[in-house]
């Protein structure tokens, strides 16, 4: 029985610590697939912001992300948020699909 191809020595050095960590998790009452707490920065936009954005888009469906960001900052005092964060929130949390405007040039007279 031969040693399987592991690539580099660095990759091979991680096999034993990783496997022993999984064995320790199996021995404890924790689930191997449990990720624990979410890490990273907490989201700034909450359910009240979600409801407000959906009401804005129901009232005026042709509103842009920039206008939605401006309305959010006017409605909720002290809220500092970027356009990209609002766009991601609208796509992921509010399930709103947003189309980009495609402008077509006018036909030329030759």
Distance separating alpha carbons of residues 75 and 71, to the nearest angstrom: 6
Whether 104 is in a domain gets the answer no
Whether 13 is in a domain gets the answer no
pLDDT given for residue 36 in this prediction: 67
Q: How many domains does the chain have?
A: 1
Tell me which residue range forms the domain holding 59: 47-92
pLDDT given for residue 1 in this prediction: 42
Distance separating alpha carbons of residues 101 and 98, to the nearest angstrom: 10
Burial of 89 (0-12, 13-18, 19+ CB in 10 A): buried
Whether 69 is in a domain gets the answer yes
Whether 85 is in a domain gets the answer yes
Distance separating alpha carbons of residues 73 and 56, to the nearest angstrom: 13
Whether 100 is in a domain gets the answer no
- pLDDT beneath 50, residues of the chain: 1-2
For residue 38, the surrounding DSSP H or E stretch is none
């Amino acid at each position: 029985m031969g040693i399987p191809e592991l690539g580099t020595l660095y990759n091979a050095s991680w096999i034993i610590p990783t496997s022993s960590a999984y064995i320790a998790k199996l021995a404890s009452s924790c689930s191997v697939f449990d990720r624990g707490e979410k890490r990273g920065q907490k989201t700034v936009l909450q359910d009240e912001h979600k409801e407000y954005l959906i009401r804005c888009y129901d009232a005026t469906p042709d509103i842009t992300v920039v206008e939605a960001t401006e309305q959010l900052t006017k409605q909720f005092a002290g809220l500092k948020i970027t356009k990209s964060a609002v766009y991601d929130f609208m796509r992921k949390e509010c399930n709103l699909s947003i189309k980009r405007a495609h402008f077509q040039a006018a036909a030329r007279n030759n």
